[in-house]
Structure 1
Amino acid sequence: MKRSVYVAAAAAASLAVLAVRPGTLNALGAVHAQAAFTADHTAVKPEYKTRGEIPAEYKWKLEDIYPNKSAWERDAKKVEELANAFPLHEGKLASSVGALSGALDDYSELCRLRDKVILYTNLGLDVNTSSTQAQELYDRAMKINTLVGEKTAWFSPELVAVPEDKMKNYLASKRVAHYKKFLQDILREKPHTLSKSMEKLLAGSSPLAQTPSGVFTMLSKDVNFPKIKDENGKDIQLTRANFISYMESKNENVRKSAFKAYYQTLGNFQDTFAQILAASVKADNFYAQAHHYNTALEASLYPNEIPTNVYSELIKTVDANLPLLHRYIAWKKKILGLRDMHMYDMYTPVVPYNDKYIPYEQAKEMVLAGLKPMGEGYEKVLKQAFSRGWIDVYSTRDKQSGAYQSGAYATHPYVLLNYQGTYDDVFTIAHELGHAMQSYYSNKKQPYSTAGYPIFTAEIASTLNEQLLFKSQYARAKTKEEKIYLLNRYLENFRTTLFRQTQFAEFEKLIHEKEQAGESLNAEALKKIYAGLNAKYYGKAVVNDPEIGMEWARIPHFYNSFYVYQYATSFAASAALAKQIEKSGKQAVDRIRNKFLEAGSSAAPLEIVKAAGIDMSSPQPIQDAMKQFELALNELEKVAGEKCFLTLLKKTPFK
């Protein structure tokens, strides 16, 4: 289990979903827009040192979960009581359908309340990670979760042990209708379910498996980065939160300084980071082996009924199309007029752009306008999210980095941001609200047992919102320069989502395989693997700066194994769904809402996506996406032309 991506130890039904994006580099490109929505030249970027300085309207309302700590204490105590009472059902599941339904009802109540108790402490800690009180409350919640895992560890093995003919009769009963998919999922795990005693032992060891993620989070927070000089020669403090904005600077010296300062600082802790990541990989492989999976990859994908060939075919298809990425990078190097293109130049804008701060209120309007194709009902809920304390907006030193959506069945969704006023931040809002809307619709439509949904479908909902926002911006483009900018940004979208996330996925696969084979995952080995992949993905047009070999040390996703590949598969699926909405309008929107957003985990993920109109069991959607990339690159090369860009560069030189 990972703290930021919480998965119930003993339940297929847990939190509705979290989709975390902390620390990732730009999901939809890395440049700001002057097209359609122009940043406010007079706006001043707010800087908050403490949480108390942030106005209430920009902080999420935890009182919507519990009005005070005393209310949380009551539910925490109740969870403990329910957990301790649950073993009274042990040994009775096969006696009658009534006994089974009673146990399922109690299990559902226990897990539903447990989710709410843990959510409150997760959110409280993530906005104030240095708070001793928040840490203590979170630790108590984790102990409660461990207790739940221990007291319910017998449940799955006993369900699996119910005779097949008797279970078939049970599944036909209306008394367990809401739990049918849950039971079927449990039975699928039969080959990988151990004895009651062994499952109880492994459940009790779950806090050990969480330790690497927790240590990584705390170490990342405690690492102090040096000051660098900004575009005006002023000393500024480099932080986790502002690193990306300085990587996007038009000034080469700023980009280079930020890049080297960041990764060289991480390099000072390389052995510690390596030990942490290696421990996480060892845990993944250990639990996979303990449950009779061939690999940790299989163990990760199996519960969601995703064949491992979906993962391997993604890597294979993307690898086969890397010459397209190399061609794009070479074009970008030429347009930028760089003698040598470095990794710190990768996020340099290739056309002039307005880099002024985009106020959060303006960003909200951009998102609402972009998501209008999803219909009035969708828009109404979005406005609730913006106005009723669903979103925590601004960053402080003690706040969890990145962005995510979280929630429990009994609460509205919660979205964490670290808003910096960049154009990419606007897309992040749309992305996380995609998760929030899927949670909202699923919780309204599905019973608790099938309200949760896997990341495989979650990332389609979020990236669909990004696709629609992009189309909205492009439709508003009035000049040739704006269209050139947007075409390039579309290609950056591909680079940072389809290509980059597949690079991460390939790295995860390699390090798990090497550890399983008994090879050491020391710092030098990890750097060599990562740098090698980076060279392969970006090609000869880019200098493979040695510092990039440390990038793995800043990616929290690696502590939620085999997660990031779904960004890539989802990008391909969401691109297709956006086309369907563009072509069919309300008919497509209604199908996507009814068959997809409201579906939760009521069917296998591949079936749900197929019902929405996309067959992800085949590599064809990935190949189709690559074709879109090639067509867009052809069009950009044709529309832009060298003369056009030389003119633009003279207007706004980058160095």
Structure 2
Amino acid sequence: MSDLKKREEINEKFKWNVEKVYKNIEEWEMDFEAVKNEAIKLKDYSGKLINGEKILEYLKLNEEISRKAEKLYIYAHLKSDEDTSNATYQSLMSKIDIYMAEFASYTAFFVPEILSLDDKFIQSEMNKLDELKQFEFLIRDILKEKPHILSKEMEELLAAASDCLDAPSAIHNILTNADMTFGKIEDEEGNKVELTEGNYSSFIRSKNRNVRKVAFQKLFGEYDKLKNTLATTLTSSLKTFNFSSKVRNYNGALEASLKPNSIPLEVYKNAIKVINDNLNSLHRYVQIKKKLLGLNELHIYDLYVPVIELPKEKIEFNTGVETVLDALKPLGAEYLDIFRSGIKDGWVDIYENKGKKGGAYSWGGYDTMPYVLLNYNNELGDVSTLAHEMGHSIHSYYSRKEQPYYYAGYTLFCAEVASTTNESLLIHYLIEKETDEKKKLYLINQELEQIRTTVFRQLMFAEFELYTHESLEQGIPLTAEDYNKAWHDLNAKYFGDGIIIDKEIDVEWSRIPHFYSDFYVYQYATGYAAASAFSKSILEGKENAVEKYKGFLKSGGSDYPINILKNAGVDMTTNIPIEATIKRFNELLDMIDK
């Protein structure tokens, strides 16, 4: 990739068709001026939402203008991501970003005004006006937050203080990404290389045990030096969230995090309980890994190294597409047709070019295609990324096709399910059809690692979060030593006796930015479990499994995530989805332990 192509040198057939949104900047500018003139009209409704007719009028106008603003925003960002060094599109993006903040201020009155109305009055208005009935879920969702909304003055005060209250996260981010340095280490070829957070993941997977050991000790050694500072930032962040929960009249931080999406607290606590009841499976994995790596002692820094290395196999994009389509055959002809037309119609921006945004994503709006950004590099991981991002995009496609504008978006709790279902179907397919024993072993290990890191590890994180929040809620102070001990004990419990819990790992809690987004990580595990449940029922050909799954994809945000999944046959309030994931983990262990 040393001679990375410029954007204009990439063949048009490998680029996404953003011109479907706007043909050119002139067309964009015309729409931008029109939206600026129209959006101001929304302010006229402030203080006037006194009956159903006015509420309906406002919602219709807001949709009309929001959809145009969304298109402007998406076009500018997609064009900027094509080449982040292109000043024209950087300027366009900056222009719309600044405007969107202004636009948000025009509509800020809506929620407080709905909350000021009497519930019975709103119900009578909905009974009176048929057209208003479609907004019932939207309005009820606002009204249920009434006990947690404060006076206008208090809300303004909290909003004004929000930037200050975000300080712990900002300090952690700057400290760990900008100020901390980890020195130099020797790579596999004996070259002195600067160790960074960015390249640590490749060193910890190194076949050379000394390389991964030194990287591990160096990285966590630096975190250990700052453990008291990092403990203070984490405690401050937790206290801030607990303060906000208390001020908003929740019974605790966990309720404040889950209740807005009507997720029962048992979903969180039960996930931790089920994983604790099945830790023997993870203990077995550790023992098998130790045996396959041929080690007398397994250390924490040995966990990420693959049990088998394969020579790099080049998988061209079209071959990758065909592989994914074969893997997704159980989803039926309609799903495959949407996938094919997405590739053909320009949803996907395939290859890397100079200045292109890194990574991968799926994104779009109600009136655009569900675009996919890739940086396809002809590797197996890229094929998996294609399946993942197209899973998101087809979820968006179905949601926008079947739901009105206000219900087309879906929550984070549901978002990862569609993408992970595709990945699950792909890895099942690859393992099933593989005849080469070494390749099969490699693929089985890939899926085992996915479950270990996405389900077991994230629920260990969730257990740590619950301990930290509940301790502080009970007035128990927490120091770096307390965090270290809790983290050490969790590692010992989760991994069992087959591994040495190196003292360096005790400070790992201080490295994890997700702990500054309270009770966020458990959704990776629940999303994976729901996806496993879907793919299992689809692969087993259970009655209506595909139709139920498509029903989930079509639901968007028309109900709370627990209800949407339950209607599709996956009940996250029970043990079944996580237990099914563990069952799959055990099946893979049986395959690898021969």
TM-score exceeds 0.5? yes
Amino acid at match of 2:61: D
1:633 is aligned to 589
Output the TM-score relative to the length of structure 1. Answer: 0.77
- Mapped contact 1:60–1:414 kept (Cα < 8 A): yes
Change beyond 3 A, Cα 1:238–1:121: farther
Q: Among residues 278, 292, 295, which one is paired with 1:335 in the alignment?
A: 292
The aligned runs of 1:362-401 (5 Å cut-off) are: 362-386=319-343, 388=346, 390-391=348-349, 394=352, 399=357
Give CA deviations for 1:270-323 in whole Å, capped at 9, x if unaligned: 677666655654553344333222233222222221111100111111122112
2:133 is aligned to 177
Change beyond 3 A, Cα 1:56–1:175: same
Amino acid at match of 1:472: Y
Q: Aligned pair 1:596/2:568, yes or no? A: no
Q: Aligned pair 1:507/2:464, yes or no? A: yes
Distance in 2 (alpha carbons) for counterparts of 1:357 and 1:459: 28
The aligned runs of 1:550-629 (5 Å cut-off) are: 551-552=508-509, 555-584=512-541, 587-593=544-550, 595-629=551-585
2:120 is aligned to 165
Mark the runs of 5 or more structure 2 residues left unpaired by the alignment: none
Q: Rg bigger for which structure?
A: 2
Distance in 1 (alpha carbons) for counterparts of 2:394 and 2:498: 41
Amino acid at match of 1:377: E
Distance in 1 (alpha carbons) for counterparts of 2:408 and 2:586: 38
Change beyond 3 A, Cα 1:291–1:239: same
Distance apart, 1:598 and its partner CA:
0.7
The aligned runs of 1:264-413 (5 Å cut-off) are: 264=221, 280-351=237-308, 353-356=310-313, 362-386=319-343, 388=346, 390-391=348-349, 394=352, 399=357, 403-413=360-370
Change beyond 3 A, Cα 1:163–1:143: same
Identity rate, percent:
40
Distance in 2 (alpha carbons) for counterparts of 1:567 and 1:392: 26
Amino acid at match of 2:328: L
2:109 is aligned to 154
Give secondary structure in 1 for the equivalent of 2:251: coil
The aligned runs of 1:415-434 (5 Å cut-off) are: 415-417=372-374, 423-434=380-391
- Mapped contact 2:28–2:72 kept (Cα < 8 A): yes
Output the TM-score relative to the length of structure 2. Answer: 0.84
1:536 is aligned to 493
Give secondary structure in 1 for the equivalent of 2:582: helix
Distance in 2 (alpha carbons) for counterparts of 1:396 and 1:532: 46
1:16 is aligned to none
1:10 is aligned to none
Change beyond 3 A, Cα 1:446–1:569: same
Query: Which is further off, 129-138 or 372-381?
Result: 129-138
Distance apart, 1:335 and its partner CA:
2.6
Query: Which is further off, 152-161 or 595-604?
Result: 152-161
- Give the number of aligned pairs: 590
- Mapped contact 2:119–2:143 kept (Cα < 8 A): no
Distance in 2 (alpha carbons) for counterparts of 1:371 and 1:139: 39
- Mapped contact 2:7–2:353 kept (Cα < 8 A): no
Change beyond 3 A, Cα 1:136–1:503: farther
Q: Aligned pair 1:460/2:409, yes or no? A: no
- Mapped contact 1:146–1:204 kept (Cα < 8 A): no
Change beyond 3 A, Cα 1:340–1:483: same
- Mapped contact 2:455–2:525 kept (Cα < 8 A): yes
Distance apart, 1:604 and its partner CA:
2.2
Distance in 2 (alpha carbons) for counterparts of 1:533 and 1:369: 41
Give CA deviations for 1:611-651 in whole Å, capped at 9, x if unaligned: 211211112332343334334434543xx1xxxxxxxxxxx
Which gives a bigger RCO, structure 1 or 2 (Cα 8 Å, sep 6+)?
1
Distance in 1 (alpha carbons) for counterparts of 2:222 and 2:80: 26
Change beyond 3 A, Cα 1:462–1:255: same
Give CA deviations for 1:148-200 in whole Å, capped at 9, x if unaligned: 45443332232133233322233333222332221121122122222344444
Distance in 2 (alpha carbons) for counterparts of 1:603 and 1:418: 34
Structure (1 or 2) with the greater helix fraction: 2
Give secondary structure in 2 for the equivalent of 1:315: helix
Query: Which is further off, 324-333 or 578-587?
Result: 578-587
1:451 is aligned to 408
Amino acid at match of 1:253: N
Give secondary structure in 1 for the equivalent of 2:362: strand
- Mapped contact 1:453–1:601 kept (Cα < 8 A): yes
Amino acid at match of 2:108: A
Distance apart, 1:538 and its partner CA:
1.8
- Mapped contact 1:351–1:485 kept (Cα < 8 A): yes
Amino acid at match of 1:292: N
Amino acid at match of 2:334: G
Give secondary structure in 1 for the equivalent of 2:519: coil
Distance in 1 (alpha carbons) for counterparts of 2:334 and 2:492: 46
Mark the runs of 5 or more structure 1 residues left unpaired by the alignment: 1-45, 641-655
Change beyond 3 A, Cα 1:237–1:569: same
The aligned runs of 1:102-121 (5 Å cut-off) are: 102-116=57-71, 118-119=73-74
Change beyond 3 A, Cα 1:281–1:266: same
Give secondary structure in 1 for the equivalent of 2:206: coil
Give secondary structure in 2 for the equivalent of 1:405: strand
Distance in 2 (alpha carbons) for counterparts of 1:509 and 1:524: 17
